Chains A and B, each alone.
Chain A
Amino acid sequence: MNRMYKFAAVFAAVALLLTACGPAATPAPTAALAATSAPTAALTAKPFKVAIVLPGVITDNGWNASAYEGLMMAKDQLGAEVAYSEAVPQTDYETAFRDYASQGYDLVIGHGFEFGDPVMKIAPDFPNTKFVVVNNVVTASNVASVEFNNEEAGFLAGVVAGLMTKTNKVGGVGGFDIASIVRGINGFEQGVKYVNPKAEVFVTYTQSWDDIAKGKEAGLALIDRGADVVWEFADAAGLGVIEAAKEKGVYAIASVRDKSSAAPDTILVSTLEEVPPLILDVAKTVKEGTFEGQMYRFGVEKGPIRYAGWNAVVPADVKAKAEQVLADIAAGKIKIERKDTR
């Protein structure tokens, strides 16, 4: 029986290790929570079907919530039949896409950089399904990528942080140190230096999208180091960063969505990455048959990345300067380096 125990303990330890290493190694039955809803008026004979595979849960108030919002827009405005899978564990990436494709979905979206490989692997098997990967660069005849210029979002946050800091120390919290996030954080550093060369930038990665308590500790670690403005680029874990700033009485800059209502006194501004209209647009191209397997890049120039929800405490000159930087990026006057590595 002692052996039985040892086996169990090793099993537990392996499970632990997986939990520690993988982004979503915890088996998530929520993946099975795929919700399907039929359009109220299905006029066409064959319904137009759109599915999204999400790395996190739609209640994260961030990255995944915005994808859900976009999906609902496709449902309401295009009459699409929609479905989504949440918090899909790494081991199920391929299965998730394969399932939707074999069910005859016209468009299957992988909402994150991490879905690039599984999509490229299975796309050739389903020529009648279109795939879109958000924040990746993969393309094929039936695969398109939509990429946000995260470095621009980071730069915008950095400009505000660099102008607002009094200690000349600012911090950035990233989710995972994957290419798309690292690029945002590197953009943040460049933005800070652009307006305030003296300022120091500290960075931490939570290695989790949804561990809010850890996000909060990450924020506290930066604030401990002296940072008085922190930018969160960590999805739901970022809410923890905002909590840390609130508790310590320093400022935070939010990302992806306008989160000002989450902490009105703490959040200076949000660096918006407007996901919903993009999802609607790409669904439209599939529905109208104009879809092309190419790379779409979105940033400040085309509008989905911008500032949202300015706090009244931000002085007018700071705001003006920040909006000027935004205009300069759009006009190509400021060149931001796209750097994927730490």
Chain B
Amino acid sequence: MISWDVLVELFLSVGLLNAGVRLATPILLAALGGILSERSGVINIGLEGMMLIGAFAGVAGARAFGSPWAGLVVALAAGGLLALVHAFVCVTLGANQIVSGVAINLIALGLSGYLFRVMFGVTSEPVRVQPFTPAPIPGLSQIPIVGEVLFDQIPLVYLALLLVPALHWLLFRTTWGLQIRAVGEHPRAADTVGINVYRIRYLCVVASGMLAGAGGTVLSLGQLNFFMENMTGGRGFIALAALIFGRWNPWGTLVATLLFGLADPLQLRVQAFDLRIVPFHLLLMLPYVLSLLALAGFVGRSIAPAASGQPYLKDGE
């Protein structure tokens, strides 16, 4: 019924792998941001909203300044700004981080749609901007399969991939990283040795917003060249799932995002190839099921930073 040729064609297709890397990138950027935020002790459910605002700001910036790079800068600022709100509510006010994150998502959904219409009106066709174009790396992109999959992408894909070792180095090899982790594990102890808990949390949350904003830009300016309301479609939540699956570790998270990135192109191809072996609805659930398994401890123990989710009040307790 199902020939081997079709299966081989499906799984070894450059298109599938290329799509996997391409789709993993926005999730990866947001998830790396999430790691930073959670390692410092602030849960960031608002990644979805920060991505969405980044997707919008990227298009608005690219439209205003005529370059996707300018769009990226505007998106970084917008994502960072929204994250600043989250940081203020969670760190300074010590409010519930989940509630704040959910609120951030709702704000971003309404705000991006509203601003888009204010700027461009209800148009009869998409407002197009100059997108990022693939920049094949000379030499490396000539390697069969691997070259096409990894080295024939837009520049933001390379940047995101480079950020993985960079963040790992920052977190586990530098004093800053030690401070971030100390604040996330035991803020009072960190405070007593003179680490400014608030400053570190603020910096990490804002950085996470900027990274999520960049992730949104990959979506609107890398994969497409326009903005559509709610275009992130839950990718920020997938990023959260990825960082849990990756156990708050950049390398693990990279693996998770690549896996999750493959889920969509795979299920779309399973449909296109008319393989009725697996209902594609089940494949759509895959990232979430994997995350739940990771949480339940099937992929080794999953330990969140001890103080993640805990507001720290200097004079409290």
Which residues of A are in contact with B by a Cβ distance under 8 Å?
A: 1-2, 4-6, 8-13, 15-17, 19-20, 26-30, 32-33, 57-61, 65, 68, 87, 171, 202-208, 210-214, 216-218, 220-222, 224-225, 236, 239-240, 243, 257, 259, 261-262
Which B183-242 residues have C-beta < 8 A from chain A? Answer: 219, 223-226, 228-231, 233-234, 237-238, 240-241
Is B172 at the interface (CB under 8 A from chain A)?
no
In the bound complex, CA of A65 to CA of B234 (Å):
23
A residues near B94, Cβ cutoff 8 Å: none
A27 contact set on B, CB distance < 8 A: 106, 109
Residues of A within 8 A of B109 (CB): 26-30
Tell me if A59 and B228 are in contact (CB < 8 A).
yes
Given A8-B98, A87-B229, A87-B230: 4 more A-B contacts, CB < 8 Å: A9-B304, A29-B109, A205-B271, A208-B233
Q: Given the complex, which residues of A lie within 8 Å of B21, measured CB to CB?
A: none
Q: How far is the CB of B152 from chain A (nearest CB, A)?
A: 13
Q: Interface of chain B, helix or strand or loop or mixed?
A: helix
In the complex, what residues of B have CB within 8 A of residue A225's CB?
Answer: 269, 272-273
Q: Are A12 and B272 in contact (CB under 8 A)?
A: no
Name the B residues within 8 Å of A1 (CB-CB): 306-307, 309-310
The reply to whether A210 and B230 contact each other, CB–CB distance below 8 Å, is yes
8 smallest beta-carbon distances between A and B, as pairs: A19-B234, A211-B233, A224-B15, A204-B271, A221-B268, A29-B110, A221-B272, A16-B237
Given the known interface contacts A204-B268, A210-B229, A213-B224, the answer about A30 and B124 at a Cβ–Cβ threshold of 8 Å is: no
Asked whether, in the complex, the Cβ of A221 is within 8 Å of the Cβ of B230, the reply is no
Q: Could you say which residues of chain B place their CB within 8 Å of the CB of A65?
A: 122, 124
Interface stretch of the complex, out of B174-182, B250-258, B283-291 = B283-291
Q: Are A6 and B295 in contact (CB under 8 A)?
A: yes
With contact pairs A13-B295, A26-B230 given, residues A5 and B308 touching in the complex (Cβ less than 8 Å): yes
User: Would you call B66 an interface residue if the criterion is a C-beta within 8 Å of the partner chain's C-beta atoms?
Assistant: no
Known: A60-B228, A212-B228. A218 touches B106 (CB 8 A): no
CB distance from A318 to the nearest CB of B (A): 25
Enumerate chain B residues within 8 angstroms of A8, measured Cβ to Cβ: 43, 45, 97-98, 309
Closest to A205 in B: B271
0/1 interface trace, chain B 256-294, chain A, CB 8 Å (1 if under): 000000001100110111100000110011001001100
Does B125 sit at the interface, judged by CB under 8 A?
Answer: yes
Q: Chain A residue with minimal CB distance to B112? A: A30
Decide: A207 and B284 in contact? CB cutoff 8 A: yes
Q: Are A12 and B125 in contact (CB under 8 A)?
A: no
